[in-house]
Chain A
Amino acid sequence: MTTTTERAVGQPHRRVEGPDKVTGAARYAAEYQVGDDLAYGWVVQSPVARGTLTAVAVDPLVEADDVLAVLWHGNAPRLGKADDPELAVLQNDRISYRGQAVALVVARTLEAAREAAASLQLAIDAEPHDTVLRADHPDLYTPEKVNPDFPSESSTGDVDAAFAGAAVRVDVTYRTPALHNSPMEPHATTALWAGDDLVLYDSNQHPPGIAATVGALFDLPAARVHVITEHVGGGFGSKGTARPNAVLAAMGAKVTGRPVRLALPRQALFSMVGHRTPTIQQIRLGATADGKLTAVDHQAVGHTSRLFEFAEQTAVSTRHMYEAPAVRTGHRLARLDMPTPRWMRAPGEAPGMLALECAMDELAGSLELDPVELRVRNTGFDSYRKCLGLGADRFGWHDRDPRPRRRREGDWWIGTGVAGATYPAMIQPSSARARRQPDGDVEVSIAAADLGTGARTVLTQIAADALGLPYDRVRVRIGDSTLPQASVAGGSSGTASWGWAVTGACRALRESGGLDEATFDSTALVEKLNQEGKHAFGAHFAEVRVDAVTGEVRVSRLYGMYAAGRILNPRTARSQFIGGMIMGMGMALHEESVLDPAMGTWVTHDFAEYHVPVHADVESIEAEWLDDPDEGLNPMGSKGIGEIGIVGSPAAILNAIHHATGIRVRDLPARLDKLLPSL
């Protein structure tokens, strides 16, 4: 065996699949050629937010030659039990939100399917709906747990007394709107039945999970559902579990006996695949005159749906972020006639840290204390303190005049802001296989998914080092549910979880004394691991300019300093950090799903209306990191980095807007209409 002393981990390797992605060769779920009889599915969505569907009438003159099937609850095949009721598509007459799938058209061509779907007559008994989240909603309740499995409430010390007795107090309410993940590749599935087995080319973050979930609906064991997920055009949480497209495509294929391709239109993503709940968050901070926190109270209100409870863990990071003798957090939900909220990049941390970190800025203002120093005085985490200190130096924080609305250049008000970031280091059980090839190369297999994180590349680096082989002698196969079982690409846990299994399999092969194959399952080791209190940290710094005439906000600089374990590939890591920060910029300035209470849905349902950052929005953006390996966590010493960039970066921008203009926006996004009246 060839051995090498040069470690692959830590090198800025280019993406393994890069050449395929820049030549158009990389294939996504809707792009597989699966035979001449391919048919196209088109989803029909409910035009009302609440009611019952009593009948579906098909116009026999519309696309009669090409329509193969029109399915609705009156004629659709019965499905097995769904853990997620959103997947029990076309099973009963209830309509639980506007945009819910109520029928499926399958036709020989895409054009015919779309036309026939538009012509269906739906007979619906509509009922009054309730879609508006309010802090005083009469039906608010406290869920038992919040995502993924945290207690809903926490309390240490006597918060009310500590707050009442505090020398300096901040009591503020922050609001964040509903947000949509909006990956560039809409959710898509190409389904075909091979005998009784199901093959799904599907865009998702967890091939084995999709196989198990969809299998259960069609009474098949997971092993008889083959999910192929070679490339995924982004997910950001919205593809973490199966979505209705996978079930509908499989159903359409079953009924017509043909392969069926179902790619959701962009508009459908705004109701059918999840969103981030809007939040209303009250934060109360009490501190001594020299800036030591004495009371922290964070109460978050969000919504869930009638179908399924999803409780975003909005206030959970407040439990550890700062030290105070009295800390209380809580979550309350309203069940609305809305789609179920789901994971969106850093669920919990992203909206929660917006409120906490803006409130900290308000406290610093009241104390007349530097906002970096306030954070340093109140954290018990050394790595966070280092991110703040070093980040402030690198950003050039210190020459700022702390008073707001002081710096003006031409028409521009200029200001800077800071905010902390945190994300839990999570690891989940996975397995992998390493197999020696006739030419001495090694193939490593694991049913992971690469959504653009660089997983394929980083796993190749990890495997090479564990095998003692050069990087180019290792091939990693992922994106297939029949490979050794992998955990979800979510919670920034992918690389740590899969990397552990890959390391185990590769070491086992290396130490096997000449075997051709070795496998490894990390379950027992991961279950023994104490993951409590393990976090990545960061500090975000922003410089903004606000046009005094128009209220336009430009982020001239956005900077992140992170302590996030060992960085395995600086090239792809930097991309993940800045990608998260740019999404954070979208959250701060652009993104808002605007509800029309009369229609009971969001009226912003495409990229013309739901604004994500574009090239012109992004000026100088940089991410750096501390060398911070945590060898006690996993064999690579790594932590997740996919989400921390969106945590705190919106608050840094909001705080910079306040510093520039003296205007405190507490209702996201900070669009110019919120600034203009006070500029």
Chain B
Amino acid sequence: MDLRVNGEPHSLDLDPRTTLLDALREHMGLTGAKKGCDHGQCGACTVLLDGRRVNSCLILAVTLDGASVTTIEGLSHPVQEAFLEHDGFQCGYCTPGQICSAVGMLAEADGASLPDAEIRERMSGNLCRCGAYPNIVAAIREVAAR
């Protein structure tokens, strides 16, 4: 199967049970997307699939022939700098997912105003056990206001 990841074409021969997350982490050496639950419950594995945010642990890679995936490694977005400035993480394990989710969410909002409550609601699929939530929201708020 063929997959475009962060702009690069990849030709892969995968077990049909392999998830997109495992394909990235175990077969392509892209470990930026994290495995927090493997069940679609935490958002740590969030990547952008054809521009939309998805839980990569819930998608079988073989269903994605011809698709285009962006992971944290391929991202260059003001949200990343804002996370540094607002200390939007502690351990960093949820962070790639939070950032990919934020980037996807900002695209979904498409310029609509995003009060804090709206940002929180839209980001609630991304858990952070370190409790960096207020800082993550501050980072996203800053970028959304631009």
Contact = CB atoms under 8 A, between A and B. Distances in A.
Nearest to B16: A111
B91 interface: yes
A50 interface: no
B90 to A, nearest CB: 3
Contacts of B93: 28, 183-185, 233-234, 452
Given A184-B34, A607-B42, A616-B121, A17 B134 contact: no
Given A22-B80, A185-B36, A451-B91, A109 B124 contact: no
Contacts of B123: 615
A26 B87 CA distance: 16
A578 B134 contact: yes
Given A31-B31, A111-B17, A583-B131, A234 B96 contact: no
Interface stretch (A119-127, A526-534, A569-577): A569-577
Contact of A183 (B32, B99, B126, B129): B129
A452 B91 contact: yes
Contacts of A18: 83-84, 89
A74 interface: no
Interface string B98-136: 010000000000000000010111011111111111111
B90 A452 contact: yes
Interface string A7-25: 0000000110111111111
B92 A452 contact: yes
Interface string A615-657: 1101001000000000000000000000000000000000000
Given A18-B84, A24-B96, A31-B31, A185 B91 contact: yes
Main secondary structure of the interface of B (DSSP, over half): loop
A111 B18 contact: yes
A231 B134 contact: no
B37 A615 contact: no
B38 A265 contact: yes
A582 B134 CA distance: 10
A395 to B, nearest CB: 16
Contact of A184 (B39, B42, B73, B124): B42
Given A109-B15, A182-B129, A580-B131, A606 B41 contact: yes
A110 B75 CA distance: 27
A331 to B, nearest CB: 28
A612 interface: yes
A27 B72 CA distance: 13
Contacts of B99: 22
B73 A579 contact: no
Interface size range of chain B in the complex: 35 or more
A417 interface: no
A236 B37 contact: no
B132 A571 contact: no
Contacts of B119: 615
Nearest to B83: A22
B94 interface: yes
Contacts of B134: 578, 618, 621
A184 B87 contact: no
Contacts of B26: 110
A249 to B, nearest CB: 16
A576 B72 CA distance: 25
B56 interface: no
Contacts of A607: 36-37, 39, 41-42, 127
Contacts of B52: none
Contacts of B141: none
Contacts of B4: none
A255 to B, nearest CB: 21
Contact of B130 (A27, A234, A265, A606): A234
Contact of B84 (A14, A109, A112, A613): A14
B41 A186 contact: no
Interface in B35-66: 35-39, 41-42, 44
Contacts of A1: none
B137 A452 contact: no
A23 B73 contact: yes
Nearest to A454: B90
B130 A22 contact: no
B33 interface: yes
B7 to A, nearest CB: 15
Contacts of B75: 23
A581 interface: yes
A306 B132 CA distance: 37
A305 interface: no
A615 B25 CA distance: 26
A608 B120 CA distance: 18
Given A21-B92, A579-B90, A184 B131 contact: no
A321 interface: no
Report which residue of A115, A575, A580 has the largest number of chain B beta carbons within 10 angstroms of its beta carbon.
Answer: A575
B131 A14 contact: no
Given A575-B87, A615-B124, A22 B95 contact: yes
A454 B135 CA distance: 15
A614 B129 contact: no
Residue of A31, A234, A453, A615 most packed against chain B (CB within 10 A)? A615
B73 A614 contact: no
B142 interface: no
Nearest to B92: A21
A33 interface: yes
A606 B91 contact: no
B87 A266 contact: no
Q: Which of B18, B30, B32, B133 has the most CB of A within 10 A?
A: B133
Interface of A: 14-15, 17-28, 30-31, 33, 109-112, 115, 182-186, 231-234, 236, 263, 265-266, 451-454, 571-572, 574-576, 578-583, 606-608, 612-616, 618, 621
11 contacts: A22-B81, A23-B32, A23-B75, A28-B93, A110-B22, A111-B22, A184-B36, A452-B90, A452-B92, A606-B39, A608-B41
Given A24-B73, A572-B87, A607-B39, 10 more contacts: A18-B89, A30-B35, A184-B94, A232-B91, A266-B37, A452-B93, A572-B90, A575-B132, A615-B128, A618-B131
7 A-B pairs closest in CB distance: A24-B32, A233-B93, A452-B91, A452-B90, A582-B131, A21-B92, A579-B131
